[in-house]
A and B are shown apart, each in its own frame.
Chain A
């Protein structure tokens, strides 16, 4: 039965235009950014070298597809919660507001199975969107600018080997996807208690915004709680570009995100299963 439910949910989002907004935006924006990096390469190199150019003589160019991808991820990652929650926000609340649950929930299917099928679709969408974001960035950047060593800032200018760049981008994709799945879980939970699809997006984005602010503001209390908030890990993809890669920190982020995800899903299921559909 669950596969039919998943197929139904897939069919519902497949025929909706809003499903494709995130993909279209990324599809348009990334070539635009890569083109801009290509044309403004000299200026970018100068800002990377900074004062180092006074002491060192650099041969060749730092600008390549890997650096462009790294920059694209850095620029757009904080905006990804907007796009990744498009489906999660509407998937339950939309059925309340349109009244379609009256049809759907009066069938001989358990509510938990229905919610699981919706959750699977939300997660698949989030993973697909993040995969498209990182994969498409890499594809366009490398096709346009070629490959080379990846220069990043981590405790100074760090040159990462071209040979393990793809592995690092894959780890960056995994870590950022884990955080984004937690963001989607929060949005999914709000969707089960809200009767419109705008409220979940607003609450989720506000939470991410406040959480990100907490991670930046240098106040002792915030510094204590920040490691326990999933919002403090939005930029955790950066750890994939440290040398060596801090796998213990990545494991910690996975555990924290997992705990928050379980909490949000527990609340969502508890609410949805007991909810009276009165609209």
Chain B
């Protein structure tokens, strides 16, 4: 375990009957990071979140929090964590404040902390409305509020932007960044790649319950970059790359050519004759390929 690792997962295995949801998963979550847990649907992200939150009891492996096995002291671990697991669900016949009050008693949080978190997620004016009357975005924000109610050190957010409109996504990302700026370590599971680029400092990618990639976001983006050339003369440009051993054509669209290469933009530009009309040459990350 490195010095800045807050949580370390070792050989996590979870089976549901004959199917394996998590297959020998090992990685670490650095302190003060926004850690991205990436993967397509069914890759095991939610199962892992449920294991961490104590919702799934039977699993194999070891999870260390500050070098202590969470199985041996789960109550302490849960005190330090806040969870938003999938779509937030509440007692819809109770108000937002009453819902938070129920949960506050479990973590011995004060009434003042209820007001504070309602303020943090901008729900003060709606605090006494029944949650059943809330919009999806409001429920999602209330979900964040309940997760931070006891001022945890680590937040686990499972698909926090799922189902939100673009404005809602922007608000949610802003909230996540604000919480991170307050010193919280945040683990976000998502299959939306834009979220990863905007939020995360470190990432792991899961596929079919296995770890397929683990690195910083900079490294991941660098590894996954492609060069995109936009021009009206795509047909003429193609031939310069078909003959090149250092560049590989990935896709050709009407006025867009995507190539995979180790070269930088400038070197690619030098491969092309000056008389061709090129609208733009730029590096663009393509994290989607990592899911394949």
A residues engaging B (CB < 8 A)? 1, 4-5, 7-8, 11-12, 15-16, 98-110, 273-278
Contacts and interface: CB of A to CB of B under 8 A. Distances in A.
A100 B103 contact: no
B102 interface: yes
Nearest to A98: B89
B240 interface: no
Contact of A108 (B57, B79, B89): B79
A102 B87 CA distance: 10
Contacts of B260: none
Interface string B86-113: 1111111110001000110111000000
Given A98-B89, A99-B87, A108-B78, A11 B54 contact: no
A108 B55 contact: no
B105 A16 contact: no
Interface of B: 16, 50, 53-58, 74-76, 78-79, 81, 83, 85-94, 98, 102-103, 105-107, 146
A278 B54 contact: no
A8 B75 contact: no
Contact of B105 (A4, A100, A275): A4
B89 A274 contact: no
B94 A15 contact: yes
A11 B98 contact: yes
Nearest to B51: A276
B87 A274 contact: no
B58 A276 contact: yes
A99 B53 CA distance: 14
A277 B91 contact: no
A106 B54 contact: yes
B78 A106 contact: yes
B88 to A, nearest CB: 7
A8 B55 CA distance: 20
28 contacts: A4-B106, A8-B102, A8-B105, A11-B98, A11-B102, A12-B91, A15-B91, A15-B93, A98-B92, A99-B86, A99-B87, A99-B89, A102-B53, A102-B86, A103-B89, A103-B90, A104-B106, A106-B55, A106-B78, A106-B85, A107-B78, A108-B74, A108-B75, A108-B76, A108-B107, A274-B57, A274-B58, A276-B50
Nearest to B156: A106
A264 to B, nearest CB: 21
Given A8-B106, A277-B50, 10 more contacts: A104-B103, A104-B106, A105-B54, A105-B55, A106-B81, A108-B75, A108-B76, A108-B107, A273-B57, A276-B56
Contacts of B90: 100, 103
Nearest to B83: A106
Nearest to B88: A103
B89 A100 contact: yes
Contacts of B87: 99
A7 to B, nearest CB: 7
Contacts of A8: 102, 105-106
A97 to B, nearest CB: 10
Contacts of B79: 108
Contacts of A276: 50, 55-58
B125 to A, nearest CB: 21
Nearest to B76: A108
6 interchain residue pairs of minimum CB distance: A99-B89, A106-B53, A277-B55, A4-B105, A108-B78, A107-B106
A159 B18 CA distance: 68
A102 B105 contact: no
A278 B14 CA distance: 12
Contacts of A110: 75
A54 B218 CA distance: 104
A277 B50 CA distance: 8
A101 B50 CA distance: 11
A102 B85 contact: yes
A16 B89 CA distance: 17
Contacts of A100: 89-91
Contacts of B102: 8, 11-12, 104
